[in-house]
Amino acid sequence: MYALAGVVGNTVVLIVFSRSREYMNTNFKVYALFHGVIDLVTCVTVIPGEIFRLRHYFDYIYGTLCKFTCFMNIFGAAAAAFILMLISMERFHRVNRPLNTQISPRMCARICWICIIFAILLASPAAFFCGIENKTITNINAGNTTAHFCVVEDKFKQTVWLVVYKQSLFILTGIFLVLSILIYVSIWRTVHAATNIRMAQGSFKIRGKRTDQLFNSEKKTIKGKTADEDFERTLTEEEQKMSKSCIISQSRSLQRTYSDRMGPFPYKTLIWFILTVMFISTRILYCALSLVQYDILSFPHPLLTLIYFFYRLYFINSVINPFVYAILDSRFRCSFRRIFREMICF
């Protein structure tokens, strides 16, 4: 079910963002395309591979397929994490340094390719360590049966290289978790402060008089400038402070869309924030269950099914993004309807 929904949804995402005129020459398009490709590859390779491994848990005899599945599992997670981290850093830069030079879409694409390369390098040892383990177990008839598992090979289980690799993955996961939380907390605080400034400027009154009436009544010279001129200069500084703390993702159009009126938190940042939170929460659950040592033969089937459901819940990260776009981005919905009509008419 996850695989089918992910393939259909991510295919729609790639079609909409690659053909839509609304997203031309934007960083949002670059991120969505790379993220969609990673999720689509995960739905096509990793999810079916894990289903096959569960169905052949005790008689997995395909060594090459086992190594490929292990590699793709780590690659998909690492590539998505690197892309999400890049997005959060870019959004952070737009919030705190909106007047500075921003990353161009071409540069975003280059950095995304670098993230893909790093993900490949990080996942390569997984294919090296994984393999077929032959183990004799006692079956329900009290007889001995030789089972074949797709796990870490016996010759690597006690090596220092496997320990270093696992610790490296754990440390990188922790860094991603901490940095993501800090970055989005900083973004929220900055946007919240900018919203308060905007609201204060819109409703600022002194003793029932508007500021322009008050300062037009008496003008006093301050360093060669009148008081009202100094007040105008002060407002300009406040506006500059507000612009530095707000996210200016694109120039405002004459007609604001629903997505632009959603509230103080920019809708693009909100989209990536939701996807990042889902990724972090499901990965924490995956790591927690991975640390628990249990015997698969000793668990009843309902409990074992529940454990594997939450253990593989991170697959939802490869399915959820089309729904998040559709709910929070009105341009995505409009582009989808327009492209769908064009395809039907053609």
Q: Is the residue at 184 inside a domain?
A: no
Q: 194 in a domain, yes or no?
A: no
The model's confidence at residue 36, banded by pLDDT at 50, 70 and 90, is very high
Confidence of residue 75 (pLDDT cuts 50, 70, 90): very high
Would residue 267 count as lying in a domain? Answer: no
Burial of 60-97, coded b for 16+ CB within 10 Å and e otherwise, reads beeeebbbbbbbbbbbbbbbbbbbbbbbbebbbebbee
Average pLDDT over residues 105-127: 92
Q: What's the whole-model pTM score? A: 0.74
Residue 166 pLDDT > 60: yes
User: Residue 248: is its pLDDT beyond 50?
Assistant: no
Residue 161, in any domain of the structure: yes
- Return the DSSP state at 135: E
Q: What is the pLDDT of residues 44-73, one digit of tens each?
A: 998 888 888 888 877 888 888 989 999 999
Contact by Cβ (8 Å): 78, 123: yes
Looking at the chain, the whole-number percentage of residues with pLDDT higher than 90 is: 17
Given a cut of 70, whether residue 179 has pLDDT beyond it is: yes
Q: Please give the average per-residue pLDDT across 123-145, as a whole number.
A: 79
CATH number at residue 123: 1.20.1070.10
pLDDT tops 70 at residue 139: no
Q: For the ranges 5-14, 27-36, 279-288, which has the lowest average pLDDT?
A: 279-288
The CA-based diameter of the chain, rounded to the nearest angstrom, is: 101
184: Cβ contacts below 8 Å, ≥ 6 apart = 88, 273, 276
Separation of alpha carbons 249 and 239, rounded Å: 17
Total domains in the chain come to 1
In a domain, 106, yes or no: yes
| In-domain check, residue 205 | no
Does 112 reside within a domain? yes
Q: Tell me: pLDDT of 26 over 80.
A: yes
For residue 205, what pLDDT is reported? 45
Best mean pLDDT range from 16-30, 144-158, 242-256, 294-308: 16-30
pLDDT at 298: 61
* DSSP output for 8-35: HHHHHHHHHHHH-STTTT-HHHHHHHHH
pLDDT tens sequence across 314-339: 888 888 998 999 898 888 888 888 88
pLDDT on residue 153: 82
Task: Tell me which residue range forms the domain holding 125.
Answer: 2-178+281-345
Q: Where does the pLDDT of residue 35 fall: very low under 50, low under 70, confident under 90, or very high at 90 and above?
A: very high
The CA distance from 91 to 93, in Å, is 5
Average predicted confidence (pLDDT) for the chain: 76
The whole-number pLDDT of residue 219 equals 40
Q: Are 334 and 22 in contact, with CB atoms under 8 Å apart?
A: yes
Is the pLDDT reported for residue 239 higher than 70? Answer: no
Instruction: Please give the radius of gyration of the chain, using alpha carbons only, rounded to the nearest integer.
Output: 27
**Residue 14: pLDDT band by 50, 70, 90 thresholds?**
very high
Does the pLDDT of residue 111 top 80, yes or no? yes
